[in-house]
Amino acid sequence: MKYIHDFTVVGNDRQTKDFVVLTLQAGAEALPEMQPGQFAEVRIDGAPGAYLRRPLSIHDVDYDKQQIKLLIQEVGKGTKVLTQQAIGSNVNMVYPLGKGYNMPDSKRVLLVGGGCGVAPLLFLGRHLKKNGITPRFLIGTRTAANLVRLDAYSELGEVMVTTEDGSAGTKGYVVNHPVMRTQQPDFDWIYTCGPEPMMRILAKYANNHNLTCQVSLENHMACGIGACLCCIAPTRDGNKCTCTDGPVFDSKYLQW
């Protein structure tokens, strides 16, 4: 079941120049159960040039407090409006949308996030931990200043970092990190979200090492509910909507 609800902004915490965590309080209606990897279509009001809703991953959920967190990177007019939402303002969301990450058949998992792609991995990590699986995170960014929410990830499990300029962690891309350079990986499942080139390399890596790799695509969307057919990804069964058949796909299902 999908819902359209109004939320109240109760937290707007700027992490870096570009990243903000919005904390949204549910209204009269209780939060439905959400799966890690699912997303919300967030309405943008008052941004000339930003006409459509913005699909954003569910970053974290607190059912006790009835709150959802969104990690938002300011990349354009729409996200700029969202990052400037004042406490007490109203945010309308259509949610929870799409298919999330599957639970693993192994306890050895690696969660790999690139840039804003780290967003869904916190909720995923929390879900895994609740199910007795300790998540390990590998987070890659361009520079140390773009590393966000490391404290929240660290509470759930080990956090490894790469930066392209070497300002934190291992210098290079996520695949340059020692955890991915061993003869035999010490994990069986890769969960990833981030830039497509990164996810394609991880998918290939998973194939070479006979691992399962679940990728979350960030295709541009209009409706978010499978009506417009704009956000398609080529799969073994032809073009499929990222918004309803994804955004999480098994990498082997995609025509990569």
Partner 1 sequence: MVDLSVKIGSLELKNPVMTASGTFGYGEEYEDFIDINALGGIVVKGTTLHPRQGNDYPRMAETSMGMLNAVGLQNVGVDQFIQTIYPRIKHYKTHILVNVSGSTVEEYVETAAKINELDAIPGIELNISCPNVKEGGMAFGTSCPSAIAVTSAVREVYKKHLMLKLSPNVTNIAEIAKGVEGAGADSVSLINTLLGMAIDAQTRRPVLSTITGGLSGAAVKPIALRMVWQVANAVAIPVIGMGGISTAEDAIEFMLAGASAVQIGTANFIDPQITIKIIDGIKSYLEKHQMDSVQALIGGMVTD
Residue spans of beta strands (DSSP E) within the chain: 3-14, 19-26, 39-42, 54-57, 60-62, 67-73, 90-97, 109-114, 136-141, 159-163, 170-171, 189-193, 212-216, 232-235, 238-241, 248-250
Q: Hey, which residues between 197 and 236 contact partner 1 (CB under 8 A)? A: 219-234
CB of 51 to partner 1, least distance (A): 6
* Residue among 46, 132, 178, 238 that touches partner 1 (CB under 8 A): 238
Instruction: Choose between 51 and 63: whose C-beta lies nearer to partner 1.
Output: 51
Residue 86 lies near partner 1 (rule: CB under 8 A): no
Q: Of the listed pieces 19-27, 51-59, 109-117, 175-183, which binds partner 1 according to CB under 8 A?
A: 51-59
* Residue type (1 letter), 158: E
The 11-50 contact track toward partner 1, x by CB under 8 A, reads --------------------------------x----xxx
CB of 213 to partner 1, least distance (A): 20
* Residue among 21, 22, 93, 94 that touches partner 1 (CB under 8 A): 94
The C-alpha atoms of residue 138 and residue 136 are separated, in whole angstroms, by 7
Instruction: Choose between 99 and 108: whose C-beta lies nearer to partner 1.
Output: 99
Q: Which two tokens stand for residue 4?
A: 């359209």
Instruction: Choose between 4 and 87: whose C-beta lies nearer to partner 1.
Output: 4
Q: How many residues bind partner 1 (CB under 8 A)?
A: 30
Residue spans of beta strands (DSSP E) within 142-227: 159-163, 170-171, 189-193, 212-216
Instruction: Choose between 211 and 241: whose C-beta lies nearer to partner 1.
Output: 241
* Contact of 164 with 198, CB cutoff 8 Å: no
Q: Which two tokens stand for residue 233?
A: 């990804």
Q: Taking the chain, what is the end-to-end CA distance rounded to the nearest angstrom?
A: 31
